[in-house]
Amino acid sequence: MSERAAGAGPDILAELTAVLEQRKAAGDPSSSYVAQLHHKGLDAILKKVGEECTETVMAAKDAQHSGDNGGLIYETADLWFHTLVLLSHRGEDYRAVLAELARRFNLSGLAEKAARNGEAAE
Q: What is the pTM of this model?
A: 0.83
- Identity of the residue numbered 14: A
CB 43, CB 50: distance < 8 Å: no
Q: Give me the mean pLDDT over the 107-113 stretch.
A: 78
- The answer for residues whose C-beta is within 8 angstroms of residue 48's C-beta and 6 or more apart is 37, 82, 85
Is the pLDDT confidence value at 4 over 70? no
**DSSP 8-state assignment for residue 92:** -
Residue 7: the pLDDT is 59
Residue 122: the pLDDT is 47
Which of 86, 19, 71, 29 shows the shortest CA–CA distance to 11?
19
pLDDT band, very low/low/confident/very high, at 71 (cuts 50, 70, 90): very high
Cα–Cα distance between 33 and 71 in angstroms, integer?
Answer: 22
Which of 13, 30, 31 shows the shortest CA–CA distance to 85?
13
Residue 120: the pLDDT is 55
Per-residue pLDDT of 12-44, as tens digits, reads: 999 999 999 999 999 899 989 999 999 999 999
Is the pLDDT confidence value at 81 over 90? yes
Residue 6: the pLDDT is 57
114 phi, psi to nearest 5 deg? -65, -40
Residue 29: the pLDDT is 93
CB 121, CB 115: distance < 8 Å: yes
Q: Give me the mean pLDDT over the 49-73 stretch.
A: 98
E strands of 5-120, at which residues?
A: none
